[in-house]
Chains A and B, each alone.
Chain A
Amino acid sequence: DAGVTQSPTHLIKTRGQQVTLRCSPKSGHDTVSWYQQALGQGPQFIFQYYEEEERQRGNFPDRFSGHQFPNYSSELNVNALLLGDSALYLCASSFGGQPQHFGDGTRLSIL
């Protein structure tokens, strides 16, 4: 049984570009959350998707957007990249309010 899978594992972009990160939830999970983890910090909640809609959102600008597909997989899109967007981006999935299962993350570096 595959857990949460994220792609790509690493990504290098330049300022001003746009990026899309992908997440496949654990089998049986229907809720996907995205987090940003800067170096040396704890993860910060970006948003959560359920039934293809954004259900909760943290304190992140509109440059950060997402999508959930009918198969529960999800994408995180970031526009107009800034140097400060360099971070590990974590996806977590859950079902029925149970604790989340995390993927290994996508390491995004902005040059």
Chain B
Amino acid sequence: AQSVTQLDSHVSVSEGTPVLLRCNYSSSYSPSLFWYVQHPNKGLQLLLKYTSAATLVKGINGFEAEFKKSETSFHLTKPSAHMSDAAEYFCVVSGAGGSYIPTFGRGTSLIVHP
């Protein structure tokens, strides 16, 4: 079984300050992990993915995430928030072994203040 927990339903930051969106997972297999972003009335866009290579994963738009197996975490960070980063962010876990059913977290709404 696999599951993912996004620890914050909302995160509020000021423009130019760091962003931290937290995600914990559980998986019976070596997981693949993803972060997606969803802007209002739009589909999801892949930010980055972890598939058992480097534990620090760099994505698009300055985002990165670190896979920590001992903490079962995959937190998303960005050094400096932009207004355009305001959106819903989803952490996703997917099992290995040929069975692909992705499990999405409930999402974290990122609010960026000017």
Contacts and interface: CB of A to CB of B under 8 A. Distances in A.
B106 interface: yes
A92 B100 CA distance: 14
B105 to A, nearest CB: 5
Interface residues of B, number: 19
Q: Interface size class for chain A?
A: 10 to 19
A77 interface: no
Given A41-B106, A42-B106, A99-B34, A105 B101 contact: no
B107 A41 contact: yes
Which DSSP category, helix, strand, loop or mixed, fits chain A's interface?
A: loop
A4 interface: yes
Interface stretch (B11-19, B41-49, B62-70, B76-84): B41-49
Residue from the set B42, B44, B100, B104 with the largest chain A CB neighbour count within 10 Å: B44
Contacts of B103: 45
B43 A45 contact: no
A56 B98 CA distance: 10
A104 B104 contact: no
B90 interface: yes
Contact of B44 (A40, A41, A58, A90): A90
A90 B99 contact: no
Contacts of B46: 99-101
A102 interface: yes
A31 B106 CA distance: 25
A4 B102 CA distance: 19
Interface of B: 34, 36, 41-46, 49, 90, 99-107
The 5 A-B pairs with the shortest beta carbon distances in the complex, nearest first, are A42-B104, A102-B43, A102-B44, A104-B43, A99-B46
17 contacts: A4-B43, A41-B107, A42-B90, A42-B105, A42-B107, A56-B99, A56-B100, A58-B101, A90-B43, A90-B44, A92-B44, A99-B34, A99-B46, A99-B49, A101-B46, A102-B44, A104-B42
